[in-house]
Amino acid sequence: MERGSFAARHDFDALQPSPDIDVRCAQFSEIAALSEMAQRLVPGVQIGAAELARYFTFDPQSILTFSRQGHLVGGMAFLFLSERGHDALLLDEICLTAPEMHYLASPQEDVAAIYIWAIAATGRGVAGLGKAAAHLRQLRFRGADCYAQPSTVAGREIMRATGFAPVPSFQPDLWCYERPWHRQPMLMPGAVIQARSFADARH
């Protein structure tokens, strides 16, 4: 992956879409090339084209391609988890190298959690993340926080720069990006003082 593109911190949902990179749902004919790219660029990825095609057939929105001037420069795969799958992820009860289908949300179901299964990109392909984030702001995905396990130094840098942080779980080295609309508003110090004064006045 290209490094240095995410030197400044930006929330994943605030990444600007790059006009140079076209991001769309994969086509079945691209699955073999995406599988080869993932195995070449992402340490630990072993899933073959046939297995990847199985997940793609179940939910075609779960795999995106990044292309530049008509050439494939990357891709991104997700596990769209149900509530049961979300629990299994946190409890380390799901096999992330070959996820069990019963942990996935059906294509007609709102997604409880999004696991970023793999990001594979060459050159400027990593700039496709802005449009990938827009894909995940569709109504079906908006209620789901994003999870990932970075497997490279560059991947860890991207996670840190886009608002992901390690979270306590039984799953080793699990990082989470909490969607902005899920975050509790922070009280300003003045508001805390006023609240305390009001409480004191009532006693």
CA distance 183 to 193: 22
**pLDDT value for 198:** 34
CA distance 53 to 35: 9
Read off the tokens for 64: 């995106």
145: part of which helix (H) or strand (E)?
Answer: strand 145-148
Structure-token match 């179940």, residue found: 58
Helix (H, G, I), strand (E, B) or coil at 174: coil
**pLDDT value for 5:** 43
**pLDDT value for 9:** 60
Residues of the chain falling short of pLDDT 50: 1-8, 187-203
Contact by Cβ (8 Å): 62, 144: no
- With b for 16 or more beta-carbon neighbours within 10 A and e for fewer, the 182-199 pattern comes to eeeeeeeeeeeeeeeeee
The set of residues, in sequence order, having a beta carbon less than 8 Å from that of 202 and lying 6+ positions away, is none
**pLDDT value for 8:** 46
Per DSSP, 183 falls in state S
